[in-house]
Structure 1
Amino acid sequence: MAFPRWAIPMAALLTASGVVLTACGEERPGLQLNTGSGAQQSPPADPSADPSADPAEAVPPATLSAAKVRIGRVVTDQEGRTLYRFDKDTAKPPASTCTEKDCAEAWPPVMTGQGQVNVRGVDQNLVGKVRRPDGQWQVTLGGWPLYRFAQDKQPGDVKGQGKSGTWYAAAPDGKKAAEPQQQEEPQQEQGGDDRWAGWTVLKVRKDPRLGTIVTDGKGRVMYRFDKDRPKTTNCYGDCKKAWPVVQFTNWKKLKVEGIDRDLVDFIERKDDGTCQVTIDGWPMYYYAEDEQPGDAKGQGAQNVWWVVSPQGDKITAGSGGGGYGY
């Protein structure tokens, strides 16, 4: 018997399928989620092996989770990979138009078993599924079929965002996630010359002593701290007074020049909740003793503080060895 291509709301499947639905609070960017099942996505079952078998029975349950990435809040799978929707699909009724081999290889559909979809931070009432031509069930959100992008290699990658003007990361409400290029351009403030007020700006400049280093829009030099770890700060109290954090505003008011935007992110500090800029995971700081744009008096302080390259690497040239180390 052939199955029609229509969506089944997940709420209607709870009793029959025994699906387990969970929820959690705020997720970290690119966090790999542990579903507790340890299940991995399986290849489609071979219908020729048993014509009476339902191919969906061979597919483990999918997991949808809300997470923060560089473009904002998106939906990810059980491995933390960003999920996408396709403008050429339809949500009413739910239907996938990405069924040809080349499309499905570039944009693997998110499959699930017999109604078993776990959710974390996603409204279960928005979750459904649609039958694909091969007999398997593809997960939908807000009616839109969901996909991965084959070129996303790490949790939190969003390389598929805006591809061909038709592929977009899915937000937890099923709508398109914010587009990285949708941002205002900074305007000259009346009565002043600070056109970057309210913005987070990362630029590069050539320093005759240090080479190519990172500064903000005013030319203030940025540093990283050897006692930090990627995505983790260890500079609090008096340390933070001597080394003020580079604050992150929001994605729409982020201006990056000469730095790969994919390397830029932020962390939320535990002490005061401030969002701190990171480059390649490393938290960024200023040095309180730098008085003029281009000053780098903190370079090499106590052999743990360093100016940074556009890749987020520390630059050890021109080390002075002074300043506050902590």
Structure 2
Amino acid sequence: MRYHTRAFIAAAGTALFLTGATAAYADGSGHGEARSVQTARSAVSASSSATVSATSGPLGKILVNNKGHTLYLFQSDKTDKSTCNGDCAKAWPPLKAHGKPTAGTGVNSKLLSTITRSDGSKQVTYKGHPLYTFVDDTKAGQTNGQGLDAFGAKWYVLGTDGKEITKTPPSSPSGGY
């Protein structure tokens, strides 16, 4: 009997968490569910050290997180300072970490660091650029945020050399690598 009670409580808690996350981002943009999933992923990845790796594709060698999701820089950011907060950070979740970030395959560990965001959390940087994912990149390798002008500046994929990649990805039905 105790087992069933624990299972019910666990299921109810999970449902409550996911419902709350969806409601928090249901802003009429049609991306509430994608954002709630991304928020859950961010919460899980923020609970451990973040890993930044490299992958190759149509845009060249780019940085990705531990789930293979593309990492972007925001041109409005100043070196070692994030300017993306509030609604911006909901659409472009910062790559957060507790502790030192880990360099995966193809990444120069000397270029990885963290900064302290305005909310006190730690955000991963690469060659001084704060790193972000994009809520509309729902699968590994997608680059749907490449070249978008949002929240006052452009967003670009970051290359393994620490420089923004400004070319446009070729059109493909898969939307990614």
TM-score (norm: length of structure 1): 0.38
1:144 aligned partner: 129
Runs of at least 5 residues in structure 2 that lack an aligned partner in the other structure: 1-40
SS state of the match for residue 98, structure 1?
Answer: coil
RMSD between superposed Cα atoms in Å: 2.5
1:235 aligned partner: none
Following TM superposition, by how much is the alpha carbon of 1:133 offset from its aligned partner in structure 2, in angstroms? 1.5
CA contact (8 A) 2:101 2:112 kept: no
* CA–CA distance in structure 2, aligned partners of residues 117 and 65 of structure 1: 9
* CA–CA distance in structure 2, aligned partners of residues 59 and 90 of structure 1: 26
2:168 matches 1:180: yes
Structure 1 segments, 4+ long, off by >6 Å, are none
CA contact (8 A) 1:42 1:60 kept: no
Within a 5 Å distance, the mapping from 1:32-181 to structure 2 comes to: 41-42=42-43, 59-91=47-79, 94-99=80-85, 101-164=86-149, 166-180=154-168
Within a 5 Å distance, the mapping from 1:252-271 to structure 2 comes to: 261-263=171-173
CA contact (8 A) 1:127 1:141 kept: yes
1:321 aligned partner: none
CA contact (8 A) 2:70 2:141 kept: yes
SS state of the match for residue 105, structure 1?
Answer: helix
SS state of the match for residue 164, structure 2?
Answer: coil
> What percentage of aligned pairs have identical amino acids?
34
SS state of the match for residue 174, structure 1?
Answer: coil
Within a 5 Å distance, the mapping from 1:247-286 to structure 2 comes to: 261-263=171-173
In the alignment of these two chains, the number of paired residues is 134
* CA–CA distance in structure 2, aligned partners of residues 143 and 85 of structure 1: 10
Q: Which has the higher contact order (CA 8 A, sep 6+)?
A: 2
What letter corresponds to residue 125 of structure 1 in structure 2? K
* CA–CA distance in structure 2, aligned partners of residues 154 and 106 of structure 1: 15
Deviations 1:42-72 (A, max 9, x none): 269xxxxxxxxxxxxx721111111013222
Following TM superposition, by how much is the alpha carbon of 1:116 offset from its aligned partner in structure 2, in angstroms? 3.8
* CA–CA distance in structure 1, aligned partners of residues 135 and 123 of structure 2: 17
CA contact (8 A) 2:115 2:124 kept: yes
Following TM superposition, by how much is the alpha carbon of 1:135 offset from its aligned partner in structure 2, in angstroms? 1.3
Within a 5 Å distance, the mapping from 1:157-306 to structure 2 comes to: 157-164=142-149, 166-180=154-168, 261-263=171-173
* CA–CA distance in structure 2, aligned partners of residues 61 and 77 of structure 1: 11
CA contact (8 A) 2:101 2:124 kept: no
TM-score (norm: length of structure 2): 0.68
CA contact (8 A) 1:111 1:136 kept: yes
Deviations 1:198-238 (A, max 9, x none): xxxxxxxxxxxxxxxxxxxxxxxxxxxxxxxxxxxxxxxxx
